[in-house]
Amino acid sequence: MAGNGNGNGHEEFSFSNGVVARNGLAKVQTHKKQSEICHDDSTTPVKAQTIDELHSLQKKKSAPTTPIKGSEGAFATISDEERQQLQLQSISASLASLTRETGPKVVKGDPARKTDTTPKSHVTHHHFTPTLNISDSALKFTHILYNLSPGELYEQAIKYEHGSFITSSGALATLSGAKTGRSPRDKRVVKDETTEVELWWGKGSPNIEMDEHTFMVNRERAVDYLNSLDKVFVNDQFLNWDPENRLKVRIVSARAYHSLFMHNMCIRPTPEELENFGTPDFTIYNAGQFPCNRFTHYMTSSTSVDLNLARREMVILGTQYAGEMKKGLFSVMHYLMPKRQILSLHSGCNIGKDGDVALFFGLSGTGKTTLSTDHNRYLIGDDEHCWGDNGVSNIEGGCYAKCIDLSREKEPDIFNAIKFGTVLENVVFDEHTREVDYTDKSVTENTRASYPIEYIPNAKLPCVGPHPKNVILLACDAFGVLPPVSKLNLAQTMYHFISGYTALVAGTEEGVKEPQATFSACFGAAFIMLHPTKYAAMLAEKMQKHGATAWLVNTGWSGGSYGSGKRIKLAHTRKIIDAIHSGSLLKAKYKKTQVFGLEIPTEVEGVPSEILDPVNTVSWPFLTSFHYCLVLGFNFLLLMYLSFGLQWTDTKAYDETLLKLAGLFKKNFEVFANYKIGKDNKLTEEIVAAGPIF
């Protein structure tokens, strides 16, 4: 009995007649022919002698060579070897110890990668050795992992960093160590002859001083730590989508998590832009795994985040929380951009299909992310922007979203953005399925996701737009006395912009307590460098020049404070925002409120007119009359209550709460009222006069 294995009639094997194998089946005998093979799916053997060589063939090399600006001839190029040498020379200079006058020996590539079995002809070593070698650090190479891709950084994180896992959605889950948030009390800025005059110091300021010597001590400590490692990650990227005013930034870090985070948050250069990158405008040394010396002058803990604006450098010691890098660079932009007459803003920004741009300011819990993410509009950015002569531009290349209680239903765009390439900080997930539980606060309540902005479906790329048409200041007023929307004049805009008000809801473990007013200058006091009135004056100037209108929108309570009133419905707030975008709210009739002197519309389409003026939410006196209850009937009264929905119990309680909030505004503004703008101080007086009067 014969079988045709390849269908060509040639016998390849047969079952021997009468020959039985051990298992009782007929024994198979093969008939090998010298001129033929036993199968027809063969291919040319791989060009590799070892498994390592085979793995090396799997990866395609990508090192484009492009014309260099200013080179002679249209096709003048720089070789790959020269380009690599220049990059490494620049990185070595960044890692230089100033006391030893030289940088370390640097070489590109992962030190763990095997090369001993690869033929010498296939190996290309790109390294740079300084001319002066007068320290022990000169005896070793520091391997540079330069601008790695997300896939490469995943491999590094999972292999070498404990607490790094791939979640079910493809995101990289990481841990930031003991610190799960920023450390504002450990942030220092070098105070020198220039910054002493230019920056905002003293009461209310986020800027805590340090001297040049202390900065250099910490810088040396960070650089020595990074140079002691076998490998460091280096990211060369950009800030600001406005090509005329972008900054080149270099981030040197010890963790793949930090490198991937900044890959997402900064603007990613093209290969061509990377070749011409040159010397960075600002450098971050992130040695967060290594503590600062607590005996060093100005140090109050083992954590220190230091800015030296003259040297254009930032040093991080004692904290692995990645947000320090993002917000540190934001602080730098708050210093550098106003020097170019560009206003840096802590805001969300979107643009309509007709080209109308809106800025959204608001502290945590005000709905800034929710309201700036609109499926009918394109997202320019969610957090940091510049407003210059060319219009608005996003500072960043990514988004840094809160994840606590995240769901597909509440925030579908953010939920769907958590995929391969996204960094998930400090989240909790199922050990088997790797499904993330966004409600779990076991590690921290400040769980975060960092992802490129193009992961948002309606993101506008490039992230730039024309001059804003509307400036929206969001406040979650838990006192329940601010109107749902009011139109602001320029002086009021500056006053409320400087105030940066919202209210936090107190804990309820021991019953309902009073809400707490929170003020953050310019809606981002922790990051501003100059006095708030300087940013406010720039905002008013640009609004006046380009015809923008400002609005104060309350997304908090109405008809009573937290615990007695009700939260203004999101649907009503969205209707108000829609009316602002469309321009219809500008055409509405307005009336003025008491104390705060706000202009409020008498009607907004889709919003109950009764809630537009907080005074109207005070309960009617006759509703307590038994006579009217009989005459009007219970059902009618219930209907009226539901219609109003939000009602204060009496006029006295409303008035007392209104005056209380006004007093808190006034007290908060005292620290700003003493700052003089201009020789005659008229602008300061106008801003103060725009506050509550009582």
Is residue 448 part of the annotated active site? The answer reads yes
219 is catalytic: no
Strand partners, 26: 20
Q: Report which of 565, 359, 393 is spatially closest to residue 481, judged by C-alpha positions.
A: 565
364 is known as an active-site residue: yes
Q: Can you read off the two tokens belonging to residue 21?
A: 């194998």
Q: Give yes or no for a contact between 150 and 263, defined as CB atoms under 8 angstroms apart.
A: yes
Burial of 125 (0-12, 13-18, 19+ CB in 10 A): exposed
Catalytic residue among 231, 250, 334, 346: 346
Q: Does 369 qualify as catalytic in the annotation?
A: yes
355: amino acid identity, one letter: G
- Residue 284 backbone dihedrals phi, psi, to 5 degrees: -110, 130
The number of residues in the chain equals 694
How many whole angstroms separate alpha carbon 420 and alpha carbon 168? 10
Check if 268 is active-site: no
- Give the three-state DSSP class for 219: helix
- Block residue for tokens 């230091």: 306
| Marked catalytic residue, from 83, 187, 268, 327 | 327
For 660, list phi and psi in degrees, rounded to 5.
-65, -45
Identify the active-site residue in 186, 242, 382, 383.
Answer: 383
Among the listed residues 105, 108, 126, 182, the single catalytic one is 182
Q: Which of 448, 460, 469, 542 is the catalytic position?
A: 448
- Packed helices 682-689 and 651-673: angle between N→C axes, nearest 10 degrees: 160
Beta partners for 448? 402, 425
Q: Which of 195, 303, 369, 372 is catalytic?
A: 369
Q: Is the dihedral of CA 435, 436, 442, 443 positive or negative?
A: positive
Q: How far apart are CA 249 and CA 280, in angstroms?
A: 5
Question: Is 346 a catalytic site residue?
Answer: yes
- Give the DSSP H/E element, type plus range, for residue 166: strand 165-166
DSSP 43: -
Q: Which residues of 552-587 are buried (b: 16+ CB within 10 A; e: fewer)?
A: bbbbbbbbbbbbebbbbbeebbbbbbbbbbeeebee
Active-site residue identified among 108, 219, 255, 368: 368
Distance CA 344, CA 330 (A): 9
Best CA proximity match to 325, nearest among 256, 255, 395, 251: 251
543 and 527 Cβ atoms separated by less than 8 Å: no
**Which amino acids are annotated catalytic?**
182, 327, 346, 364, 368-369, 383, 448
